[in-house]
């Protein structure tokens, strides 16, 4: 009998104390605000890393392009000078040949 | 041990021809007296880089094909405001660096105009290097091209690729 009463007492429906729901909601809100800065900093760090990587890659590409275009101009200039000298010599040889 | 010595000897033998095609283009003090200087130094790596930036059609394609066989391009050109600013013996000093495989292809001698010496490193029926020495009263130019070069193709390149043509001695453009 005593056990039955104990169980009834233990399992009886009880209303939560006043303000319980509000406190639960407040706690959830606190947890959320505590986690938000972490996510924000992660996003910032990822963006900065991505920007740095893309920036370095872009700078390298620009540098390589400049070097390549400079080399290309130098090649064209060198071959133009060489071509001019060879053509001059060929013309002189032809002139001498036609005078003979 | 014997194999190592033999390998070293073969490597040295292979390295000598490549080295022998390039010459020392150092002319101390000449740059100070010159009004204009053209200094081009392109090793194999720079030539490969330059080839990537050439168009794949027309004249630039021809240059790109020509560059495939080259491992060095060196130009030193000095222009002076008056005559007698450089020692004429420099021509011989450049020529003296060339080994026995170098043969003169064309030599143009003039008292008033341009003296041109074109020499090639000929091995079999292939040209493995070219040296052009041009001595004018107010200009001294040396070009050294290392590698397999087609001279006829080279002579056709003048005045192309958007580079202005050289001014001739009477001041007009060709």
pLDDT at B169: 37
DSSP reduced 3-state for B58: helix
- State pLDDT tens for residues B79-93: 999 988 898 888 999
Mean pLDDT of B39-53: 94
Within 8 A of B108 by CB-CB distance, chain A residues are 88-89, 92-93
Q: Which residues face B139 on adjacent strands?
A: B79, B136
Our CA-based measurement puts residue A51 at a distance from the nearest CA of chain B, in whole angstroms, of 28
Opening angle at CA B84, ends B82 and B90, nearest 5: 130
Our CA-based measurement puts residue A70 at a distance from the nearest CA of chain B, in whole angstroms, of 8
Q: Classify residue A18 by its DSSP letter.
A: T
pLDDT at A3: 86
Contact between B156 and A83 using a beta-carbon 8 Å cutoff: yes
Q: How many pairs of residues across A and B have Cβ atoms under 8 Å apart?
A: 106
Q: Does A50 touch chain B (CB under 8 A)?
A: no
Q: Classify residue B165 by its DSSP letter.
A: P
Our CA-based measurement puts residue A34 at a distance from the nearest CA of chain B, in whole angstroms, of 54
Mean pLDDT of B5-30: 65
From the list B67, B114, B163, which residue is nearest A77 (CB)? B163
From the list B46, B74, B134, which residue is nearest A85 (CB)? B134
Confidence band of B76 (pLDDT split at 50, 70, 90): very high
From the list A75, A83, A87, which residue is nearest B50 (CB)? A75
Q: What is the chain B residue with the closest CA to A74?
A: B40
Rounded Cα gap, residues B153 and A90, in angstroms: 13
The more confident residue out of B174 and A16 is A16
Taking 50 as the pLDDT cut, the residues of chain A under it are none
Q: Classify residue A12 by its DSSP letter.
A: S
Sheet holding B102-108, edge to edge: B36-43, B70-79, B139-147, B126-136, B115-123, B102-108
Give the pairing type, strands B70-79 and B36-43. antiparallel
Q: What token pair was written down for B26?
A: 């150092």
Q: What CA dihedral angle connects A6, A7, A9 and A10, to 10 degrees?
A: 110
Give the pairing type, strands B70-79 and B139-147. antiparallel
pLDDT at B109: 87
pLDDT at B160: 53
């Amino acid at each position: 009998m005593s056990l039955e009463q104990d169980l009834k007492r233990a399992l009886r429906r009880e209303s939560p104390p006043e303000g319980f729901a509000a406190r639960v909601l407040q706690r959830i809100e606190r947890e959320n605000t505590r986690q938000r800065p972490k996510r924000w900093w992660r996003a910032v760090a990822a963006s900065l890393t991505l920007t740095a990587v893309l920036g370095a890659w872009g700078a390298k590409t620009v540098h390589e392009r400049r070097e390549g275009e400079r080399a290309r101009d130098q090649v064209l200039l060198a071959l133009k000078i060489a071509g001019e000298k060879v053509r001059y010599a060929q013309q002189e040889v032809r002139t001498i040949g036609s005078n003979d | 041990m014997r194999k190592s010595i033999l390998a070293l000897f073969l490597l040295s033998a292979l390295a000598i021809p490549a080295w022998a095609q390039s010459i020392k283009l150092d002319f101390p003090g000449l740059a100070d007296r010159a009004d204009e200087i053209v200094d081009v130094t392109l090793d194999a790596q720079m030539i490969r880089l330059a080839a990537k930036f050439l168009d794949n059609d027309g004249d630039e394609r021809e240059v790109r094909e020509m560059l495939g066989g080259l491992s060095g391009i060196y130009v030193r050109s000095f222009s002076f405001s008056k005559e007698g600013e450089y020692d004429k013996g420099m021509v011989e000093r450049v020529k003296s660096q060339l080994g026995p495989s170098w043969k003169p292809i064309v030599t143009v001698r003039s008292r008033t105009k341009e003296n041109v010496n074109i020499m090639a490193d000929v091995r079999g029926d292939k040209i493995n290097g070219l040296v052009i020495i041009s001595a004018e009263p107010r200009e001294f130019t040396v070009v050294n091209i290392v590698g397999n070069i087609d001279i006829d193709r080279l002579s056709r390149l003048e005045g192309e690729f958007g580079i202005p043509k050289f001014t001739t001695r009477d001041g007009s453009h060709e």
